[in-house]
Amino acid sequence: MTSPWDAGLQPERAELAWRRTVLAVTAGTVVAARYLGQSHPVLGLLLPVLALGGGLVLLGVGTVRFRRLDARLRAAGRETSDAVAPGGAALGVLAAMSLLIAVTSAVFVVVTALRQ
């Protein structure tokens, strides 16, 4: 075997999995932010826009990283020591978006329960 990966195309699968994760978290964050800003019109518009912006940034960072990894794998063969996982900053943003979903969902459930 002369290539650093088999016919399964692991870098491409990893990139697609990263995209699916970012898109799911972005969609959840937009919905959660929309509920959070329901009582405040400015927050209701600003928070989803920020969530969409964060999602686009994460998609861009993930795409660039995995394309760079693919190019390095092709150039270096099996002798590469670069990290395969996304950087800590991208994972931190993804974690913050997930936390926003959780907090907003909890607030929405509690407020809805108290109103009834």
* Domain chopping of the chain, boundaries: 10-115
Average pLDDT over residues 3-9: 57
pLDDT for the residue 70: 74
| Per-residue pLDDT at 31 exceeds 70 | yes
Q: Tell me the residue ranges of DSSP E strands in 18-61.
A: none
| Interval 46-94: pLDDT, tens | 878 888 888 888 888 888 888 887 777 777 665 555 555 556 777 787 7
| Per-residue pLDDT at 30 exceeds 70 | yes
**Which helix (H) or strand (E) segment is 89 a member of?**
helix 88-115
| Contacts with 33 (C-beta within 8 Å, 6 or more apart), sequence order | 43, 47, 48, 50, 51, 100, 104
d(CA 102, CA 9) in angstroms, rounded, equals 34
